[in-house]
Amino acid sequence: MSLLYVCVEKSDVLIFATPIYWWNMTAQMKTYIDRLYAMKYDKRVLKNKKIVFLTTFGAPDFESSGANIVKQSLQRIASFTGMGFIHSYGVTSQPENNPAFQKALIEVFDLGKSLIINY
Ligand X SMILES: Cc1cc2nc3c(=O)[nH]c(=O)nc-3n(C[C@H](O)[C@H](O)[C@H](O)COP(=O)(O)O)c2cc1C
Q: Contact with ligand X (CB under 6 A): which of 22, 96, 106, 116?
A: 22
Contacts of residue 61, Cβ cutoff 8 Å, sequence gap at least 6: 92
| 29 in contact with ligand X (CB under 6 A) | no
- Laid out side by side, the sheet with 84-92 consists of 13-19, 50-57, 84-92
Q: Which of residues 65-84 bind ligand X (CB under 6 A)?
A: 65-66
- Given a contact cutoff of 8 angstroms between Cβ atoms, the answer to whether 41 and 5 are in contact is no
Q: Does 57 bind ligand X (CB under 6 A)?
A: yes
Answer for which of 8, 13, 17, 19 binds ligand X (CB under 6 A) is 19
Q: What is the CA radius of gyration of the chain?
A: 15
| Total binding residues toward ligand X, as defined by CB under 6 A | 12
Provide the binding-site residues for ligand X, judged by CB under 6 A: 19-23, 56-59, 65-66, 93
